[in-house]
Amino acid sequence: MSRVAYVNGRYLRHAEAQVHIEDRGYQFSDGVYEVILIKNGHMIDEEQHLKRLQKSLSSLEIVLPMKQTAMRHIMKEVIKRNKFQNGIIYIQITRGVAAREHSFPKYSNPTLVMTARRIAAKNYNEIESGVKVITIDDIRWKRCDIKSISLLPNVLGKQTARNQGAYEAWMVDAAGYVTEGTSTNAWIVSPDGRLITAELGRNILSGITRNRFIKIIHELNYKLEERQFSVEEAKNAREAFFTSSTSFLTPVTEIDGAVIGNGRAGSLSIELLKAYDNYMNQAY
């Protein structure tokens, strides 16, 4: 079955979808994006994703190309035309097409692209095995709270992880604190059971799945600390994991070669993941 994409008012076969070579997204990474999980045909935390999209656009002074009601209709239509129940929808908005000049063009229409695809479900045996993480220097710009399509440092970090047999790389700032993963938010569980993740600021993205897990943690009456943590603290944690729209909650069982806990997913990580599964199944 052929995939379907949306580009500037048209639904096209995915293989035929394209944008102009002078689109500022292509020339300057002058744009933003969102990735929304689809579960049982419904978008998970759709409202929160659209709010973050608007925040990112406003930070770059890019105008939303249409009203949100129209955006929602197109998103649902893209999911419908791709004929699947579980996967993701990708939304990208750039400043649009203009002659190559660093400053903003006087006139340009934003480019809107949407694609969707299935993602494979993980079983709990895979999840309990966990994944390996390495740490790398955080070399990104100083506005990581904007979900910009400028992701080259993240791409290099992810490839470094894969080259070293790891699944993800956690980025570390000049002071030695973990900021976030190349495409995820980083978490640890202290030896006495406190859940710890970096506080929001310009150096990390406000992950929608991160925020959902914070709500779940409060509902389950666990202790949460939003603060910086060092690589050494992470290596000595009882448990570690990362979260994102596509990875949900993925246990980390090794950091830079140091085994976390007993080398398997921790009980708290599994409990939180099951609570998130329950949320997704009951939310709609």
**For residues 112 and 91, what is the distance between their CA atoms, to the nearest angstrom?**
7
**158: nearest Cα among 83, 247, 41, 40:** 247
Which pair of structure tokens corresponds to residue 171? Answer: 């980025």
Q: Do residues 109 and 13 lie in contact, with contact meaning Cβ atoms separated by under 8 Å?
A: no
Residue in 61, 125, 119, 136 with CA at minimum distance from that of residue 94: 61
Kindly report the backbone phi and psi dihedral angles of residue 149, in degrees, each rounded to the nearest multiple of 5, phi listed first: -80, 0
Residue in 65, 6, 4 with CA at minimum distance from that of residue 31 = 65
- Integer Rg of the chain from CA: 19
- Is residue 271 a contact partner of residue 220, using CB atoms and an 8 Å limit? yes
Strands (E), the chain: 4-7, 10-13, 31-39, 42-43, 87-94, 111-118, 131-137, 168-172, 178-181, 185-189, 195-197, 224-226, 239-244, 248-255, 258-259
Residue 147 bears catalytic tag: yes
The amino acid at residue 253 is: T
Catalytic position from the list 55, 122, 147, 223: 147
Select from 194, 209, 279, 206 the least CA-distant residue to 243: 209
Give the integer Cα–Cα distance in Å for 47 and 215: 16
Active site residues: 147
